[in-house]
Structure 1
Amino acid sequence: MIPKSIGNLGNVGELDLDANSFSGIIPRSIGNMSSVTKITLSRNKLEGAIPSTIGACKRLLLLSLDGNNLRGSIPKELFQLSSLSVGLDLSQNNLSGVLPQEIEHLKNLGILYLSENHLSGELPGSLSSCISLQVLDLSSNFFHGSMPERLSSLKGLEYVNLSRNNFSGHVPAYLQQIALKYLDVSYNDFEGEVYVKGVFANASAISVIGNHRLCGGIPELHLPNCTNISNYYQKSKKLSLGVILAISVPSSVVASLALVSFLLLYFCKKKTSESESVVTESFDKISYERLFKATQGFSLENLIGTGSFGSVYRGVVDEDEHGIGPTVAIKVINLQRRGSSKSFVAECEALRNIRHRNLVKVITICSSLDFHGNDFKALIYDFMPNGSLESWLHPHDHQLDLSQRISIAKDVAYALDYLHYHCGNTVVHCDLKPSNILLDADMVAHVGDFGLAKILSLEQLSNPHKTSSSSIMRGTIGYAPPEYGVGNEVCTSGDMYSYGILMLEMLAGKKPVDPIFEQGLNLHSYARKALADGFVLQIVDPMLLNDDVIVNQACLISLVKIGVQCSSESPQNRLHIGTVIHELHALANA
């Protein structure tokens, strides 16, 4: 337990007890720490209520209590801490009650995470007073009602997640006027037309699935036409009594026959053509001939990369007489490679229902025959003009400054947060590395290559350390977590290990298989020792020392610490992706 005597530390500036096994309650004496600016008690086993005495910590900039078993309502005193500016994270607890009107006092708050609790009620209009808010995550609660019109004043919002609540009414029109980078309103009860301006114009930046009464929007959302859906509901109300009786009387017999027929049909189709059933359900196909023409016969001049199960080509589809047409990236699957067909199916399955601004967008697929009658399979993606992160790190042909690297780290963290917790299923990427992170024209990072991805079942989520019967090693040497090497099932913590190694590689400028790492030394232990000995500046990429070293030193140390904690050998000791996101936001805004 955290001792009551902790309140005697009146001069402590930061209290970080993150990722331990503390249990019991948070002592009320914590309010006596009058000089504290940062309290992180995340990912412990704390329970009971949040003590209202925290409201006495008048210098507090950041409070993280996520990933515990805290219960009860959020004390109003907490929302009267006008000093809170970096972030407030109360996610992944068992908090209940409403969001109090006193939230209006948090005018300087940049990040608010309240996801995965039992909060309810309507959103207070006073939330509009939080004019500095950039990240708002209220997902997986029981909020209801419509979105207050007053929230239109939150012009600084960039990331909004309202998914898995009971919000209703129309999606607010003012959201298209705010410069949002990501909006998730999935699995609510919104109705009416989806807009086509602002964030709504980018299918990869929004999610509206699970709202069955929405219509319109851009074509990529595949929502029904608003006129058609209106007619449908009118017709459904006129369903006659005779039709209802005709359906219901023989229902027991028909249902039994239908169930047997469905099961037979499902398993037969699954055995004979699993890949085709996955593909044809979600994507419009493109012909081999069009791809052959787009890549000038899959010429070496258009080859932009090779991977475990295929090669990637740059192509211009359906170019006109002036050579103008949409540029795409075409991943041609090497069907001679063992496991490539399974990889193709895995990638289709993983990408069929996910959409996020930091994931590479699949446009369509090709499952056909080539000119010689051989099987041909390819995935067609948005083309990323700035190539992969690896090409910017090794060799040093390009230059990424510290702010760009932090931005890329945030983009990848957003993608993992979405895959692990917000896309309907839990998707583990299993192969996170610089070559699978692509940069668009604005240097926004997109995670790609889902050939090794796995969608976890509820059983796998409840037994993350179960030993797998499969002998297949998922991931790439140096980036794959050590537990995969001894046969453990894949888990979200495995992606966090890869993320930590990726972070350290961006900071040190060295690959995890660099020749200097031998005799038990690896990138993680190399950075951990430098952190412990106070020599972080000696291991970072010299490119990062060109600016003001004194200003950057604290930031670099914090970034290395994140990388080391994420790549811990023990899965239980790795950081949660939510913690990483608000740490990075704090550094970016410092």
Structure 2
Amino acid sequence: MRSLRISFPFSMVCIVPLFLIMQLSFKAPSIDVASATTAGGNETDHLALLEFKAKIVHDPQNATSSWNDSAHFCNWEGVTCGRKHKRVTILDLNSKGLVGTLSPYVGNMSFLREITLYNNSLQGEIPSELGRLFRLQVLYLNNNSFEGKIPSNLSECSNIMLLGLAYNNLVGNIPVELATLSKLRKILIHFNYMSNGIPPFLGNFSLLEVLSAAGNFFGGSIPDSLGQLKYLSAIALGGNNLSGIIPPAIYNISSIILLSVANNSLHGSLPPNIGLLLPHLQKLQMWGNHFTGSIPVSLSNASELLYIALLDNNFTGKLDVDFGGLQRLGELNLHGNHLGSGGDNSLDFIISLLNCSNLKLVEIASNQFQGVLPNFVANNISTPIEWLAMEYNQIGGRLPPWLSMLVSLSHLDIGFNQITGTIPMEIGSLSRLQRLYLDSVIPSSLDNSHTLLFLMLSHNNLNGTIPKQLFATQSMLVSLALDQNHLVGSLPLEIGNSFNLNELDISQNLLSGEIPIDIGRCNSLLTLYMHHNNFEGTIPPSFASLRKKFRLEYINLSFNNFEGEVPIKGVFANFSAISIVGNNRLCGGISELQLPRCPVEGSKRRKFHLVNLVVIIMSCIFGISMLSTAMYCWFKKKKRGHSPASPQMKSFQKISYQMILKATDGFSSTKLIGVGSFGSVYQGSFAEDGATFAVKVLNLQQRGASKSFMAECKALRIVRHRNLVKIITSCSSIDFQGNDFKALVYEYMPNGNLNKWLHPDHLEIDEQPSLSLLQRLNIAIDVGNALDYLHHHCPKPIIHCDLKPSNILLDNDMVAHVGDFGLAKFLPQLINPTQSSSIGVRGTIGYTAPEYGLGSEASTSGDVYSYGILLLEMVTGKKPTDDIFVEGLNLHNFAKMALPNQILETIDSILLQEDGGVINSQGPELARNDRKIECIIDIIKVGIACSMESPQDRMDISNAVNELNSIRNNFIPSRMGLSVYRGKYNSY
């Protein structure tokens, strides 16, 4: 017997995992594939195979290159024939990258038992001629681009055991005619566009083992008839629009291994004896619904459980499950419920978790757990927990010593609780710890000589000094945030050891003393926030060298006691990159700072009173003159309050609904900048000081708007990067009608979004200059830098999930800023992008990675795919949703097929006309155009590498940015004769 191996991608709504499929695989009749001769066989099959090949328009792996007369068709790649009759029994060309349609002539190969064409780019309708194949047992067309309806005459294939049509573009209903398929064991139709409800006749499939219909648009309720399927082992219905309750009969199917109904609108409670009813349950995914009640104690009886994901529901009560018996449990995610009894022992279940020998992730954040963490004596804890998140609860008391025994821990978050006392000194021995989020006193034992990358202790009640041990000789710190505490003392001299430090935020403390000169050794430093302290002395010249020699791009020294001359080089040469207000004894600097000149040491003062008198008089005249000038400048500045150079709002300024209403002229249409999925964006300004800002007003009637608001707040409160839109403040209030009102206030970007530059409407074409190639390349690098920061360098890795031109904003200097974090997800751990997850994501059609449609978790490679599509759009001028992209052709394939000889027909025509010429000019212009074409080809190659179908094949964002920087460096010298290259940006 030959075992058919059916692979299922991991998914966020848990489409059946690979290990499960291996266990559920059925047996098909044995087919002995002998070496076929060139003689014999059947001409009907031969011709049908040639017709199949004729419909393939692109074969990147040359899978059909052997399909010619040099060998018998039974020896062709992917073709298996029967030993006696030499008729085709198996056609298997999975994962070959084939582009084209499926020939109806396949229906002539009447001995076919298996058609396996998954993971290709076949499009068009599924031929109804397949209904002739009465011997067919396996039809596996997953992960293509088939469209239309499921042919109803597939019911004539009476021997079908596996029907795999998932990850396509199929529409309509499941044909009722299929009810006659009495041998059907697996239905895989997840992630199509099929609608209506889940048909009750599925209960007729008495042998059905796997029902996977997740990620469609099925509405209604789950039919009771499914409870009749006594052999059902996997049911995956997540990501639909299902409502109602789970039929009680479902819980009586004791063979169920996987139950996934995540991301629907189901309600009800779990049966108290669920663990006894489903003893073989391995994956329970019910996140993103409206389930209530308590989590049943009987879950501990389902001893085979690997994964429990009940987050984002309304579960309540005390958690009394004894997890110690679940020795196979790897992940427990209960985030975002209302769990917790308020008693002193409401966290006792954690002791049983520490006895789980395979547990790696525990997420109980954003609940109502109270009391103290249990303290117990243990010589050894065997659990391999890597991720422990308990933030946003009401946990009090001291941190227990057993935390230091979690030797595999890489992420620990207990912030936003009521923890008291000090951080246990033993935590400093956790050699794998990379992210630590606590609120307590910093112990000097927390030496960072191991792998600690992110230490975020912001907004707590920390006191004492900053331990020098944080900056050990081998410090790996990338980001350190100690802002908004009560820290005293000076910044340790050892700060200079932090060669990897990108961000340092020690603002809003009580720190004092001078800034160590050794800070100039922090050659990776990007941003430095020291404002609102008591620092004194002069600004070290080494600050200027950080920008000149290294990377420093923003520094805030405001509201301290600095004195002396402000440097004019490095970061201090950029007015928008520094803030030094509130230091009244500073002088000099660039002219935009409007500081007084620094005094120059002159000759000895003369010893008679007349000169002194003259000096006093001249000083008075000078002071009056300066006062007059200042008044003139103030009035002039106030008069031009709405110009592009108008002042910005102060960060974190409190703002009310009334203020926003007034600043936007009552949300006037003349102030409307754009409209998004969850709200509208307006330009606002205050008449008092001329401060200009952008405000997103959430439409709270839109489903998901409140979650979007919270997601964006959570993301933007921890990110700081020059290429991310800066959030100024938020407003959560009540309007004049008593309705909830939520808004986010951002820094205003006067040049709008990238989409308007790439695709101006007919009224803007003549008014707006087009983007040059170099400008597009600069913008691409800006966006890449933003993603690189989000993925690899911010305190909590963030996946944007909705990267597209309309979410990329441009400031006065055409510097790009990525915005709209309404769909952003925090990355719990850097894991394989094909693993299952409890985070659902959609994004925007055309830019969303294909695996998101397949149910895979949100991942950094998903953002990279969107970035690749963006690069191709910027160069070709075509949206991924343009009308030309039909029948399986997409922007990725369009660009790839054009390389290298058809590139002129592919790229944006505006780029061909740049510099007043055309691309096929003669003489010196031709050489320059050759370099331009070479640059464009290189950009397209990066775009293609980033937008590969498989996440594993995509280029990492860091490598993509490095490639684009090299491309720009090679291209810039060819432009130097045309204009002066001004740093990073120019006007071409």
TM norm structure 2? 0.34
Matching residue's letter, 2:941? K
Report what 1:503 is aligned to. 871
* Alignment deviations for residues 158-183 of structure 1 (CA, whole Å, 9 cap, x no partner): x85599xxxxxx99533336656953
Matching residue's letter, 1:325? G
| Deviation of 1:464 (Å) | 3.0
Structure 1 CA distance, aligned partners of 2:744 and 2:572?
A: 25
Matching residue's letter, 2:716? L
What pairs with 1:538-549 in structure 2 (closer than 5 Å)?
538-547=905-914, 548-549=928-929
Report what 1:139 is aligned to. 500
The answer on 1:329 being equivalent to 2:697 is no
Matching residue's letter, 2:910? M
* Alignment deviations for residues 197-251 of structure 1 (CA, whole Å, 9 cap, x no partner): 7647989969xxxxxxxxx9668xxxxxxxxxxxxxxxxxxxxxxxxxxxxxxxx
Matching residue's letter, 1:356? H
Report what 2:713 is aligned to. 348
Matching residue's letter, 2:955? L
| Deviation of 1:138 (Å) | 5.7
Q: Is the 8 A contact 2:728 2:745 kept in 1?
A: yes
Equivalent in 293, 300, 305 of residue 669 of structure 2: 300
Q: Is the 8 A contact 2:754 2:809 kept in 1?
A: yes
Tell me the secondary structure at the aligned position of residue 960 of structure 2: helix
Report what 1:134 is aligned to. none
Tell me the secondary structure at the aligned position of residue 814 of structure 2: coil
| Deviation of 1:147 (Å) | 7.3
Matching residue's letter, 1:364? T
What pairs with 1:240-255 in structure 2 (closer than 5 Å)?
none
Distance 1:407 1:479, change over 3 A: same
Report what 1:559 is aligned to. 939
The answer on 1:314 being equivalent to 2:679 is no
Report what 1:530 is aligned to. 898
Tell me the secondary structure at the aligned position of residue 462 of structure 1: coil
Structure 1 CA distance, aligned partners of 2:520 and 2:857?
A: 47
Structure 1 CA distance, aligned partners of 2:808 and 2:844?
A: 14
TM norm structure 1? 0.56
Q: Is the 8 A contact 1:429 1:453 kept in 2?
A: yes
Q: Is the 8 A contact 2:554 2:571 kept in 1?
A: no
Report what 2:819 is aligned to. 448
Equivalent in 564, 570, 586 of residue 966 of structure 2: 586
Going by fraction, where is helix more abundant, 1 or 2? 1
Q: Is the 8 A contact 2:712 2:820 kept in 1?
A: yes
| Deviation of 1:424 (Å) | 1.3
Report what 1:432 is aligned to. 803
Q: Is the 8 A contact 1:204 1:356 kept in 2?
A: no
Q: Is the 8 A contact 2:841 2:858 kept in 1?
A: no
| Deviation of 1:551 (Å) | 2.0
Report what 1:382 is aligned to. 747
What pairs with 1:98-137 in structure 2 (closer than 5 Å)?
120=474
Report what 2:655 is aligned to. 286
Tell me the secondary structure at the aligned position of residue 296 of structure 1: coil
Matching residue's letter, 2:865? Y
Matching residue's letter, 2:837? S
Q: Is the 8 A contact 2:475 2:499 kept in 1?
A: no
Q: Is the 8 A contact 1:509 1:540 kept in 2?
A: yes
Distance 1:525 1:138, change over 3 A: farther
Q: Is the 8 A contact 2:873 2:880 kept in 1?
A: yes
| Deviation of 1:344 (Å) | 0.2
Matching residue's letter, 1:577? I
| Deviation of 1:544 (Å) | 1.1
* Alignment deviations for residues 474-517 of structure 1 (CA, whole Å, 9 cap, x no partner): 21000000000011110101100000000000000010000010
Structure 1 CA distance, aligned partners of 2:799 and 2:577?
A: 20
The answer on 1:518 being equivalent to 2:883 is no
Equivalent in 756, 771, 774 of residue 403 of structure 1: 774
Matching residue's letter, 2:844? T
| Deviation of 1:549 (Å) | 2.0
Matching residue's letter, 1:509? G
Report what 1:572 is aligned to. 952
Tell me the secondary structure at the aligned position of residue 315 of structure 1: strand
Distance 1:162 1:326, change over 3 A: closer
Structure 1 CA distance, aligned partners of 2:544 and 2:499?
A: 19
Q: Is the 8 A contact 2:725 2:817 kept in 1?
A: yes
Structure 2 CA distance, aligned partners of 1:201 and 1:284?
A: 27
The answer on 1:367 being equivalent to 2:732 is yes
Structure 2 CA distance, aligned partners of 1:584 and 1:151?
A: 28
Structure 2 CA distance, aligned partners of 1:147 and 1:454?
A: 39
Structure 1 CA distance, aligned partners of 2:813 and 2:945?
A: 30
Distance 1:314 1:573, change over 3 A: same
Distance 1:196 1:309, change over 3 A: farther
Structure 1 CA distance, aligned partners of 2:576 and 2:732?
A: 24
Matching residue's letter, 1:183? L
Distance 1:160 1:560, change over 3 A: farther
* Alignment deviations for residues 20-48 of structure 1 (CA, whole Å, 9 cap, x no partner): xxxxxxxxxxxxxxxxxxxxxxxxxxxxx
Structure 1 CA distance, aligned partners of 2:743 and 2:572?
A: 29
Distance 1:337 1:196, change over 3 A: farther
| Deviation of 1:353 (Å) | 1.3
Equivalent in 702, 723, 740 of residue 358 of structure 1: 723
Q: Is the 8 A contact 2:520 2:543 kept in 1?
A: no
Structure 2 CA distance, aligned partners of 1:342 and 1:150?
A: 42
Distance 1:286 1:556, change over 3 A: same
Q: What 5-or-longer segments of structure 1 have no aligned partner?
A: 1-95, 97-117, 123-136, 164-169, 187-191, 207-215, 220-281
Q: What 5-or-longer segments of structure 2 have no aligned partner?
A: 1-448, 450-471, 477-497, 503-515, 529-537, 556-560, 583-650, 915-927, 971-988
The answer on 1:487 being equivalent to 2:855 is yes
Structure 2 CA distance, aligned partners of 1:311 and 1:384?
A: 15
Structure 1 CA distance, aligned partners of 2:718 and 2:572?
A: 17
Distance 1:577 1:171, change over 3 A: farther
Distance 1:565 1:203, change over 3 A: farther
Tell me the secondary structure at the aligned position of residue 512 of structure 1: coil
Q: Is the 8 A contact 1:205 1:355 kept in 2?
A: no
Structure 2 CA distance, aligned partners of 1:549 and 1:305?
A: 37
Q: Is the 8 A contact 1:309 1:343 kept in 2?
A: yes
Q: Is the 8 A contact 1:204 1:361 kept in 2?
A: no
Tell me the secondary structure at the aligned position of residue 744 of structure 2: strand
Rg (Cα) greater in structure: 2
| Deviation of 1:534 (Å) | 2.4
| Deviation of 1:463 (Å) | 4.3
Structure 1 CA distance, aligned partners of 2:747 and 2:877?
A: 28
Tell me the secondary structure at the aligned position of residue 777 of structure 2: helix
Structure 1 CA distance, aligned partners of 2:679 and 2:547?
A: 37
Q: Is the 8 A contact 2:499 2:521 kept in 1?
A: no
Q: Which has the higher contact order (CA 8 A, sep 6+)?
A: 1
Q: Is the 8 A contact 1:204 1:357 kept in 2?
A: no
Tell me the secondary structure at the aligned position of residue 888 of structure 2: coil
Equivalent in 777, 793, 799 of residue 422 of structure 1: 793
Q: How many residue pairs align between the two structures? A: 364
Q: Is the 8 A contact 2:801 2:843 kept in 1?
A: yes
| Deviation of 1:552 (Å) | 0.3
Distance 1:119 1:550, change over 3 A: farther
CA RMSD of superposed structures (Å): 3.8
Structure 1 CA distance, aligned partners of 2:912 and 2:727?
A: 38
What pairs with 1:214-293 in structure 2 (closer than 5 Å)?
283-293=652-662
Structure 2 CA distance, aligned partners of 1:483 and 1:382?
A: 34
Q: Is the 8 A contact 2:520 2:546 kept in 1?
A: no
Tell me the secondary structure at the aligned position of residue 183 of structure 1: coil
